[in-house]
Amino acid sequence: MLDLSLDSLASAYASGDLTPSVLVARLCDAIDAYEAVDPAVWIHRISKQDLLDRAAELEAGAAADRGPLFGIPFAVKDNVDVAGLPSTMGCPAPLYIAEETSFAVQNLLDAGAILVGKTNLDQFATGLVGVRSPYGAPRCVFNRDYVSGGSSSGSAVAVAAGLATFSFGTDTAGSGRVPAGFNNIVGIKPTRGLLSTSGVFPANKTLDCLSIFALSTADGDRIRRVAEGFDPEDPFSRAGAPVPLPLENPRIGIPMPDQLTFFGDDAAAELFNTAVEKAETLGWEIVTFDYEPFRATAELLYGSAWVAERLAAVKPYLDKDLHPVTRQIIEDAGGFDATDAFEAIYAAQRLHTRCAMIAKDFDLILVPTSPTIYRVDAVEDDPITLNSNLGTYTNFVNLLDMAAVSVPAGFRANGLPFGVTLVGPGQSDDALAVLADRLHRGLHPRSGMQDSPLAAPALSVRDSDGLVTVCVVGAHLTGMPLNSQLTERNATLLETTRTAPDYRFYALADSVPPKPGLSRDPNFDGPGIEVELWQMPMESFGSFVALIPQPLGIGTVTLADGRNVKGFICEPAGIATATEITHYGGWRAYRADAAA
């Protein structure tokens, strides 16, 4: 199988060992071969010649002008528009030929990505099973007797089977997460509005969002950053300030034991318990909480007038050949009136308030991506109930305006994969990705049909628009006298790490409270100095810097892993009268010794 990870392809292109033309030729062969195994993945494939033409176009450009996704193959769910291509929404014939490319897809193409095709889905993105399509039912890549998950079924299988580096799905009720869990890949459900839904056929327009399938959170997060952007043509597009999360010892909420259900799947329950134990070994604090308001929120999606929003989108197409289950769900929505809609809005807001109060006790939620997985024949026999079961831990997320990432969490004894999902506040996508990546690597650092080791490097924290990371070394550390200058500015502790080895460390003379000085010496090779990384809103950074006295200041500090962050440095004049304490390796060790 081809290694399609972002860094592997970029390295191969840079060295000349691979070209986009060679890649797409090999990829076409791989897609042809997999179609013999599962013919239901694709609804529309880009022809080999068109792919070669796109590759040649990219190769003709100057190397310096290559976009961040140069030559990266991807797929999109067939409810996402691409100019000149049919959009079917899983109907037997195209509903239309798209005149324009969706905003997010265009961002990917502009970055040099290569679209290989449009994938199968539960019709009108209604379902979590992946079997409600006239184009067939894409199957779990590990056992064809089992569902692949929906509604973004084909998009997940395309990535898991090694037919694309990443793909777009959509996620209203869990469609970007359940198929990820069933196919041993990552599913990223961003904050609603972060990725434009212009050119995306709606399911529930007020709740919809594009989702990303990838082999690693690191790859998926990079794709999100390229695809996102404020779109004035999308009334639900937004670009709010990122919400930081603590990357050091976060508090993780899990439902109380009697509120966890796996519908008899004891292997899934065991794997979830293992995930919780692993989170604890990462230093994460586990907090149980009352899941009932979240469950009640989830039930609103299909059990109230919210479902009528699907009718609003599909009503002009009720004369089409609809899948019987899809038709039943959508036509039943006609029984709600405007009064019901307002009552559903009120109920959702009441639950939102209750859930927000409960969430004050933790930073993130950890839940199973899905409580179990079903055979295709079982879903066909009981399509509504089993579909509903699969959304047990997903349906509440968009209604509560949260973000989520599903990651692989190992395999049952029968060879079927299991996934868990981290759920964070809206706009916490940047930090959430880092934590999800750590959990993935701690639980099961592999992915895809071949269960291959992760090729992408571990995802590390970085500054986001509206946030700045500050490296502190002394009196601003957690528990130290000046730490409040950070916390009162809504700064969040990200992690504890060390500087590069060429830093010396000093105890400053006559400093009240006692403070250290950090200075770089290119000719020095030491232990590195222990530091904390804090992230604060950019608008608070200026007032923080204004508090810093001479001889200290803010400069750029290089960390042991090569990252550069803003942090405390010391003028040479201050070091001249200071005592070197580099051998302590950090301020805490020095202060502990001084107090002894």
Number of independent structural domains in the chain:
2
Q: Which amino acid is at 288?
A: T
More confident residue, 511 or 358: 358
**Residue 394 forms part of a structural domain:** yes
CATH code at 257?
A: 3.90.1300.10
Q: pTM of the prediction? A: 0.85
**Do residues 343 and 401 share a domain?**
yes
Residue 336 belongs to what domain range? 6-453
Assigned domain for 1 exists? no
pLDDT confidence of residue 22:
98
Q: Are 348 and 300 in contact (CB under 8 A)?
A: yes
83 and 108 co-located in one domain: yes
User: Residue 169 belongs to what H/E stretch?
Assistant: strand 166-170
Last residue of a domain, one of 453, 486, 508: 453
Residue type, 400: L
Final residue before a domain boundary, out of 421, 453, 485: 453
CATH classification at residue 585: 3.10.490.10
Between CA 271 and CA 420 the distance in angstroms is 9
The residues annotated as belonging to the active site are 77, 151, 175
Both 498 and 442 in one domain: the answer is no
In 91-183, which residue ranges form alpha helices assigned H by DSSP? 103-110, 153-160, 178-182
pLDDT at position 491: 87
What are the DSSP E strand ranges found in 363-450?
Answer: 364-368, 402-411, 417-425, 446-447
Note whether residue 458 is domain-resident. Answer: no
Residue reference for tokens 């709606």: 202
CB 427 within 8 A of CB 403: yes
Q: Both tokens of residue 436?
A: 């999800």
Of 122, 123, 173, the residue nearest 150 (C-alpha)? 122
pLDDT of the residue at 465? 60
Sign of CA dihedral 439, 402, 210, 271: positive
pLDDT digits (tens, 9 = 90+) for 196-209: 999 999 999 999 99
* Phi, psi of 476, deg, nearest 5: -95, 0
Question: Does residue 234 fall inside a structural domain?
Answer: yes
- Backbone φ, ψ for residue 157 (5° rounding): -65, -40
CA atoms of 327 and 48, how far apart (whole Å): 36
Give 361-408 pLDDT, tens digit per residue.
Answer: 999 999 999 999 999 999 999 999 999 999 999 999 999 999 999 999
Which pLDDT belongs to residue 242? 83
- Can you give the pLDDT at residue 506? 96
Question: 483 and 359, same structural domain?
Answer: no
Taking the C-alpha atoms of residue 191 and residue 170, their distance in angstroms, rounded to an integer, is 12
CA torsion 105-107-110-115 (nearest 10°) is -20
Does the pLDDT of residue 464 top 70, yes or no?
no
Cα 148 to Cα 93: distance, rounded to the nearest angstrom: 23
